[in-house]
Structure 1
Amino acid sequence: MSSRLRLLAPAELDVQQRALYAEITGGPRATGPQHFALTDAEGRLNGPFNAMLLSPELGRALQELGAAIRYRTCLTDRIRETAILVVAQAWDSAFERHAHERVGAAAGLTETELLALRDGRDPLLSDPAELAAWVFACALTSRSGALGEGEYDKARAALGERALFELSTLVGYYSTLALQLRVFAVPAPPS
């Protein structure tokens, strides 16, 4: 299936769309190592970012939340990428998987851990905080989305309340992106 949305070229964007485009392509996602391409060869935004241009005000808020989650939390890179890949598996999101397996590998997730996350299996994380974050993200993405008192207490003890807030926000944000990617049938870029 091809994408339901036409990719918008930079030259055809209105003023608000151009401002959002500049924020996405000139912000923290564009600096440092590029583990997946933000734009195609013609400068059109890849993944969820093209859809954000449909509603620049909402798209701006969404991309700012994403930048905060990716770059301004107390979560370690491995915890963040583990949780994102739990969401990608739960939603069967090819684009999130494509992008964040690359980021996860750069963050130190092993091929064995990445394969387990892709398959929805226990990645056998030895770090207690990473394991708690994986269990927490799995509980939030399960059909019930319920977190029992014991699970909450264990996660809070391992991660702290701030990290639980940030982690639950991350799971919600990436679930939103996965839903939008599914609605608009956005494929993963060719490998």
Structure 2
Amino acid sequence: MTQARLPVFDPAHATPEQKALLDDILSGPRGNLNGPFVSWIHSPELGQLAQKLGVYCRYDTGLPLRLSELAILATAREWQSQAEWAIHLPIAVDAGLSAEVAEQIRLGQTPVFEKEDERVVWSFATELYHHKRVTDATYARAVELFGLKIVVNLIGLLGYYALVAMTLNVFGMRAEGQTSLPFPEPPQA
């Protein structure tokens, strides 16, 4: 993992708040610090709140894992988040998202979905990201398919992973073991 903008974190010199955050992340369902967590350790209050929200958004939204991961890949593509994509692509494919659909997303194409629930999640995410709103038709279909609570959770998932993507991008973080980049890096201004 690259952390060019972050100072090296030494757990031996962690504050009690940092130690609590580390313990909560490492003993939780993630079990590792792969992602934005090394940056959040520098603001353990934010880190605690964010990682708890993340546990809910990743594991407890009520969406099948395939659809949650599709929403995360849509977010990674929108933000061109190298680490987010690298971490979540294999999870998405293992959960049943077509590798071909994932590649279409990575390339910025409109994916060809065989499953309607995937098409609805994609439409919801891309409309929200591109137009800052969701059409009545997409909203109604999402509520019909998933129910209102899960639609609310989908919005939370998209917002949380946008936070993750922004964090990863600002600090130039990469996934553990990441050797290639799915998106071209933008030129430095």
The two structures have a TM-score, normalised by structure 2, of 0.87
Aligned equivalents of 2:88, 2:119: Cα separation in 1: 18
In structure 2, what is the Cα distance between the partners aligned to 1:137 and 1:184? 25
Instruction: For residue 6 of structure 1, report the CA deviation from its aligned partner.
Output: 2.3
Are residues 1:167 and 2:154 paired?
yes
- Measure, in 2, the Cα distance between the counterparts of 1:140 and 1:77: 20
Alignment check: 8 A CA contact 2:3 2:171 kept: no
Question: In the alignment, is residue 86 of structure 1 matched against residue 74 of structure 2?
Answer: yes
Q: Structure 2: how far apart are the matches of 1:147 and 1:96? A: 24
Report the counterpart of residue 133 of structure 1 in structure 2: 121
Q: Match for residue 24 of structure 2?
A: 23
Residues 110/149 of structure 1: CA separation in 2 closer, same or farther (3 Å cut)? closer
Distance 1:73 1:146 in 2: 21
Give the percent of matched residue pairs that are identical in Structure 1 and Structure 2: 35
1:77 aligns with 2:78: no
- Aligned match of 1:113 in 96, 101, 116? 101
Question: Letter of the aligned partner of 2:157 in structure 1?
Answer: L
Unaligned runs of 5+ in 1: 31-37, 39-44
How far 1:49 moved relative to its partner? 0.4
Q: Distance in 1 between matches of 2:9 and 2:54?
A: 21
Match of 1:3 in 2: 4
Computed over aligned residues only, the root mean square deviation of the Cα atoms, in angstroms, reads 1.7
Question: Would you say 1:52 and 2:53 are equivalent positions?
Answer: no
What's the CA shift for 1:16? 0.8
Runs of at least 4 residues off by over 4 Å = none
Aligned length: 177
Aligned-partner residue type, residue 110 of structure 1: S
Give how far 1:2 is off. Answer: 5.7
Task: Write the distance in 1 (CA, Å) between the matches of 2:27 and 2:7.
Answer: 22
Between 48-57 and 115-124, the greater mean CA deviation after superposition: 115-124
What does residue 147 of structure 1 align with?
Answer: 134
List per-residue Cα deviations over 1:47-89 (Å, max 9, x = no partner): 3001111111111010000001111121001100000000000
Aligned residues of 1:88 and 1:94 also touching (Cα < 8 A): yes
Match for residue 13 of structure 2? 12
The letter of the residue matching 1:73 is T
Q: CA separation of 1:70/1:2 partners in 2, compared to 1, >3 Å: closer, same or farther?
A: closer
Structure 2 residue identity aligned to 1:82: L
TM-score by length of 1: 0.86
Deviations 1:91-121 (A, max 9, x none): 0000100000021122122221221121232
**Per-residue CA shift, 1:128-163, capped at 9, x if unaligned?**
222111110111121x31212222222222222112
Inter-partner Cα distance in structure 2 for 1:50 and 1:131: 34
